[in-house]
Amino acid sequence: MPAFLNWLLRLLPTNPICMRLVQGGSRRLRHMYIRAGYLAVMIVVLLFVLINGLSSPGLSLRALASAGALMFQNVSYLQVGLICLLTPVFMAGAIAQEANPKTWDILLTTPLNSLQVVLGNLFGRLFFVLALLFSTLPLFAVTQYFGGVPGDAILASYAIAGASCMVVAAVAVTLSVTRTAGRRAVFIFYISVVMYLFVTYAIDIQLRQPIAIAATAVHTTVMTPINPFLALNVLLDSNNYVPHVYVGTDTLWIVQKWMAEPISMFCWLCFWLSLLLIAFSTIRLRVIGARIGAVPWYRRLMGLGAKGATERPARHVSTNPIAWRESTARGKTVGAITARWTFVAAGVAVALIIVGLYHNGTWGNSNLQLAIASVVAAEVVIIGLAALNMSATAVSREREDGTLDIILTTPIQPGPYIAGKLRGLVQYLVPMMLVPLLTLAIVGLYLTFNGFGRSGGVMMTATLPGTTTPIQVKPMIPEAVLGLMLVLPMFIAFCVMVGLHWSIKSKGTIGSVIVAVGTVLAVVGVISLCAIPAGQNLSYPGSWIVTMSPINLVFAYVFPNLTITSALSGGLASARVSLVFGAAATAVVYAVIVYGMHTNMKRTFMMTVRRLAGTS
């Protein structure tokens, strides 16, 4: 075989790294469960939309076409969302490889060149995401039988989803080959992807302008070509989300492409960014350096010694060394300290900006409500995911590095060990948990004092269910901070216990994080879906069910007319009281669940640890 042809084949088709990853991953039960679950979710959503769309009697061809278009729209959004969530999961192994540099050292001694190593890691892991993507093609083909869905729209939706997973995968491989990340960065990478989607979408909402005076349709913004959901929105809702038109103008070509063709611009941006990251990773792969010297100024500022130092000043340990280690020693790194306090500072700054924009009249009541609900909900999601990531790696990490074997030789019993993990992780997350509480407290204080003389006041007109008389209410119920203060700590403790449960039962950190996050998402998802009809149809029991999910709780305080409709029929005052008592009851329920999980884990701890002894 010619040497050049052999070189080309080694880039992808016969790349040994790619073949090893594909063959090895195809035999894993976890990958099979993810594929089956992905298809199951897509099929269930498709059937649910189909049943709702065809439930009315006397269907016409136009109604069938409308049902087909609705099915395609829902499945397309769901597919892009799941691809954005699952791509970091499949690429987590590439980032985690940096934690064991010997793997790269061995690869660098093989005949493979840098490009072959990079492409093998990239497409070997990306193969499973692309397989998921194309496995839904028959579902999209079903929508063709109903009409209303052009074939080019299906191809465009697949192009958006494929471009999204390609750029996420390229970023993950770049973090891996440059050795700028580790196992702890897997979660940061996941959070960064989710937050990027949230932030760009929120900015787009604020920048939207109607296409004409009194028109409901809006133009696309500069954010549209850099967010897959916004690009998909142009494709699926082109009547309401309209690209700009520059025909016959002398506008720069980049502006025309960016604002008038957001879908193609998104795909090209992803392609060129992925190509740039691959090229950078190829050049950077074999650059290995050591950082040896004095303590950097930023580490001295944070009270840290030299990285890799063999000695350090003595520290005062509390009565439970496990709790002290999780709350204090665990976070003694530059990245952990910076990330935690940056989150706190950014949260307070965002709250002040929201109040400032509302105070000077830039935002109205609806903008304030949307901003509060979005920001606080995003903060709660980040804190919950941080709790799951830290707790899900708390025991499995110690099993991997051999620390658990040393701890088991000490007099520490399973009960204090698990309780120490719980207390230490919750204490570590306290500064982060204060962020949504401070946000609600700042807004609540501002509204309590009637906006400190804001022009137009802070009251808005609303109509209670069952009445026709409008009343004056505030954009947010001021007791929101009290309700969230009761629920959030217990909910985070519940997340920590779920993470600890799977951390004890799992061999590795990646598997424990994935299963723990999936478990909590399933539980909270079911509670949230049940809370919507319960709050609308049940009176005070509905208010209690709503408080069982922190996200629903926040929306209940901001949009009570949509979430606790039945309780509002008895009056706003009684509904506010029911939310507070419901939050207290929810805190008790989560406390009982945490205690029960602790008791069960304490009883089965030794048996589980011995069964997994010696594995990694």
Q: Report the C-alpha gap between 135 and 557 in whole angstroms.
A: 41
280, part of any domain: yes
12, part of any domain: no
242 DSSP β-pair partners: 219
For 90-149, what is each residue's pLDDT tens digit?
A: 776 655 554 455 566 677 777 778 888 888 888 887 888 888 888 888 877 777 776 667
**Does the pLDDT of residue 291 top 60, yes or no?**
no
Looking at residue 93, its pLDDT comes to 61
Taking phi first (over 0 means left), then psi (-120 to 50 degrees means alpha), and beta for anything else, what does residue 217 get? Answer: beta
Mean per-residue pLDDT, 541-560: 89
**Does the pLDDT of residue 614 top 60, yes or no?**
no
309, part of any domain: no
Cβ pair 161, 228 in contact under 8 A:
yes
**Does the pLDDT of residue 183 top 60, yes or no?**
no
- Cβ contacts of residue 496 below 8 Å, gap of 6+? 387, 388, 390, 391, 421, 422, 425, 426
Percent of the chain with pLDDT over 90: 19
258, 284, 310 — which closes off a domain?
A: 284
8, part of any domain: no
Q: Which residue has the higher pLDDT, 210 or 311?
A: 210
Q: Report the C-alpha gap between 96 and 179 in whole angstroms.
A: 10
Instruction: Provide the pLDDT confidence category of residue 245 given band limits of 50, 70 and 90.
Output: confident
Same domain assignment for residues 332 and 270? no
Mean per-residue pLDDT, 497-505: 91
User: What's at 188, amino acid-wise?
Assistant: I
State which H helix or E strand residue 241 sits in. Answer: strand 241-242
Q: Two tokens at 315? A: 């520290």
Cβ pair 474, 458 in contact under 8 A:
yes
Mean pLDDT, rounded, of the chain = 81
> Among candidates 255, 285, 310, which has minimal Cα distance to 103?
285
253, 284, 315 — which closes off a domain?
A: 284
Same domain assignment for residues 277 and 385? no
- Cβ contacts of residue 445 below 8 Å, gap of 6+? none
Q: Two tokens at 54? A: 């065809």
> Total domain count for the chain?
2
Q: Residue 453, SS3? A: coil
33, part of any domain: yes
Q: Annotate 433-459 with b (16+ C-beta within 10 A) or e (fewer).
A: bbbbbbbbbbbbebbeeebeebeeebe
Same domain assignment for residues 458 and 516? yes
R_g of the chain, CA atoms, integer Å: 26
Same domain assignment for residues 542 and 416? yes
Cα 337 to Cα 28, 38, 112, 302, 403, distances in angstroms? 36, 36, 39, 8, 23
Same domain assignment for residues 242 and 386? no
291, part of any domain: no
298, part of any domain: no
Domain containing 128: what range? 28-284
Looking at residue 285, its pLDDT comes to 76
Looking at residue 449, its pLDDT comes to 86
Q: Look-up: residue for tokens 């987590």? A: 92
Same domain assignment for residues 351 and 261? no
Instruction: Provide the pLDDT confidence category of residue 379 given band limits of 50, 70 and 90.
Output: very high
What pTM does this model have?
Answer: 0.59
Q: Which residue has the higher pLDDT, 458 or 26?
A: 458
State which H helix or E strand residue 318 sits in. Answer: none
307, part of any domain: no
